[in-house]
Chain A
Amino acid sequence: MASQRSSLLPYLLAGPYVLMFAIFVAYPVGRALYMSLFDWGIFGPNAFVGFNNYLSLFGDRRFWGSFWVTSGFAAMYVPMIVVVSLLLAVLLHRKLTGIAIFRTAFFLPIVINVAVAAIAFNWLLEPNIGFVDKMLKLVGLPGQNWLAQPGWALFAISLVALWINVGFMVIILLAGLENIPDELYEAARLDGSRPIHDLFYITIPLLRPILLIVIVLSIVHAFQVFGEVLIMTQGGPFGSTTVMTMLLYEEGFERFALGRAAAIGVVITIIIATLSFIQFRFFRRQV
């Protein structure tokens, strides 16, 4: 009887998670796959269209445009967040009095709603009264109309995403840093190593598994960025920030082509899964 109970225990413990996963992940993903095979409107499926939603997407300039915008965003955002979070993690790893306050400060943005952050940055980046342009002008640099120019708008959005997510990445990297023995640094010191050498020859090589996770998570974030775009630029100026999720929103909630929108969601999922698989598959041996 007791052994029966103990054999049930793992399932009971895993049960709540499995239930939540089924409701909030597995079902929506399955439902999206199903919807993507239909001409689906406000009131549900109109007709089964097979893979036509996908085929029409691949022939649509707007889809490819949004793909390249998202890729461009990822190309800006991922290196930026990896470098910044690594530098912050190394700085915050020092055993100084009150360092916990700084760690908390960098983590705080993650608990702030994306909408709040995006609205706040809209004000900060406002060309006439915004803090950023005022500071630039103070030091003699020209201000920018950040959100009205194609390159700058995407860059500004990547900065907001960076500000929101960097704390989380720092926490992950700090956990990794804790596992690097202090003796290695002490030995390096005795051999005349300088802090920059420590970073490149001890910290980064030993953090590779964690860095891989940070890179994968950052790519996931990059392909899922939405709230910042919706609030700050609505995909503009002239479509230069229409990322794939924004296109999904337009198709689903402005045109009510929910089947096409679901197809875009499936494509985004496949892209993220493929990139993650490639990284884990080919870089696992190196880390």
Chain B
Amino acid sequence: MKFDRWMSVASAAVVAAAMMPVAALAGDVEFWSPFTGPDGAAIDALVQEFNAGAGAEAGVKINLLIVPWDDYYTKLSASMASRTAPTLAIMHSHQIAVFVKQGALEAYPPEEIATAGLVEGEYIAPLWNAGVVADQRYGVPIDAFPRHYYYNKALFEQAGLDAANPPKTGAELLDAANKIHALGNDTWGLYFQLTGSGVVRNFYSFYWQYQDDLYNADMTDVADGFAETAKKAVEALRPFLDSGASPKDVINDSAALFATNKIGMSLTQITDLPVYQAAAANQGLQFGVAPLPQFGDRPATFALGHNFVIPRGTPAAARADALVFVKWIGDNSLAWTKTGKMPAKVTTLESAEFQALPEQSIVATSLEYVHFPPALSVQPAVDRVVQQTIEAYYAGQVDSDTAVQMLADGIREELAKK
């Protein structure tokens, strides 16, 4: 009986101990990353390298937890609500304002940035600026991924196109797409997404090639001239569908079709690079990359980036430890760019090693004119309006005039909620 009682007490103590929050050791930084696949392997290798070298010297240890993208933000917000958030987390640039509105992120004060050795001038300006919401810094960039296109060199050759000089304008792109489509044998000239986030990113890219602002100055309405510009952006890819050079139906395996020489050009983003590189290694695919062609009167392309953010309530000492890692990653991000990303730092961009990366260095030329979405808490909701409207347009449910009206009305409604 006595033994039983002792066992009960011991069991209760074990359960209670298991439920107690585990205090992090000094220098330990809990780091949540959503990257999987090649990205996950790369970030894991970087963390291990840091822990074994610079981290050990500085007394900082990064404990990496990979939480896949699918429910990353749901789990991150749940961890914040239950006061069990990590010290450091990765966040898309356009999500930062959403979390800032909730008071869920710590701002990086200028002195903290300076103490950590992070220097604004060392970062590529649009990427650095994407971490700012309402004049306060909440994110430090690790990378960016602009829109551009991949092209199939074998199909270029068959169609009599110069693979060393891929299309640079909308007209050239259409001409090339038609020539590739004319090869027959179910070959598509240009693939672009008719559904999903790709339609949003293409729309913004083309919009910004005609006009810089989506919204008016106080972010309460669409910008002057929105209707005219949005119509051009909505209709930018219409000729490709009308000529039959692009598939009118949704294609789910575009990378596989590209790898088997059934797609001549694919309008997407640099993060897809590992897929094309794998096809080149395994299937002999010959491909090149080129910046997004210019349809409007100025070059522009949409980009998002990943940022380091610090959840609310992280103590100053832990923040300082986290920033040691953030600084180190910025200085050692070449390996990260090899997974199909643009570097955040000018030094990496200008390094001989990066310039020797054939695809990344070409896409990097568009960093001069990349546009990030406005830092607004309702931006993801606006993106949804754009996505649903453009999807409806491509599906033939609405014409371009109606689509533009739907865009303006939907964006206004979302801006009113900010």
Contacts and interface: CB of A to CB of B under 8 A. Distances in A.
B185 interface: no
B388 A42 contact: no
B81 interface: yes
B77 A61 contact: no
Interface range, B side: 20 to 34
B250 A145 contact: yes
Nearest to B199: A238
Contacts of A72: none
B252 interface: yes
Interface stretch (B98-106, B144-152, B270-278, B295-303): B98-106
Nearest to B74: A253
Interface stretch (B320-328, B361-369, B391-399): B391-399
Nearest to B390: A238
Interface of B: 73-74, 77, 80-81, 98-99, 101-104, 194-195, 249-250, 252-253, 312, 378, 380-381, 384, 387-389, 391-392, 395, 397, 413
Contact of A254 (B73, B103, B413): B73
Contacts of B73: 253-254
Nearest to B256: A128
B102 A236 contact: no
- The 3 lowest CB-CB distance pairs between A and B, nearest first, are A238-B388, A238-B391, A238-B392
A238 B102 contact: no
A227 interface: no
A254 B250 CA distance: 26
B80 A43 contact: yes
Contacts of A237: 195, 391-392, 395
A176 interface: no
A149 B103 CA distance: 39
A236 B195 contact: yes
Nearest to A231: B70
Interface string A17-61: 000000000000000000000000111100000000000000011
A43 B378 CA distance: 18
Contacts of B194: 148
A61 B249 CA distance: 28
A41 B102 contact: yes
Interface in A102-145: 126-128, 145
A152 B81 CA distance: 38
Contacts of A43: 80-81, 102-104, 312
Nearest to A41: B102
Given A42-B77, A43-B102, A237-B195, A150 B250 contact: no
Contact of A239 (B253, B388, B413): B388
A284 interface: no
Nearest to A239: B388
Q: What secondary structure prevails in chain A residues at the interface with B?
A: loop
Contacts of A42: 77, 80-81, 99, 102-104
A41 B103 contact: yes
A68 interface: no
Interface in A225-279: 236-239, 250, 253-256
A49 to B, nearest CB: 13
A87 B222 CA distance: 55
A255 B381 contact: yes
B15 to A, nearest CB: 19
Contact of A236 (B101, B253, B388): B388
Contacts of B389: 238
Contacts of B392: 237-238
Contacts of A145: 249-250
Contact of B98 (A44, A126, A149, A255): A255
A174 B311 CA distance: 55
6 contacts: A42-B103, A43-B104, A149-B395, A254-B381, A255-B380, A256-B101
B249 A256 contact: no
B132 to A, nearest CB: 21
A255 to B, nearest CB: 6
A236 B104 CA distance: 29
Contacts of A250: 384
Contacts of A236: 195, 387-388, 391
Contacts of B397: 150, 238
Contacts of A128: 252-253
A240 to B, nearest CB: 9
Given A42-B80, A128-B253, A256-B98, A61 B413 contact: yes
Given A126-B252, A145-B250, A256 B77 contact: yes
A56 to B, nearest CB: 8
B75 to A, nearest CB: 10
B81 A254 contact: no
B81 A238 contact: no
A42 B99 CA distance: 9
Give the interface centre of A145, A238, A239, A254 by most chain B CB atoms within 10 Å. Answer: A238
Contacts of A254: 73, 380-381
Nearest to A250: B384
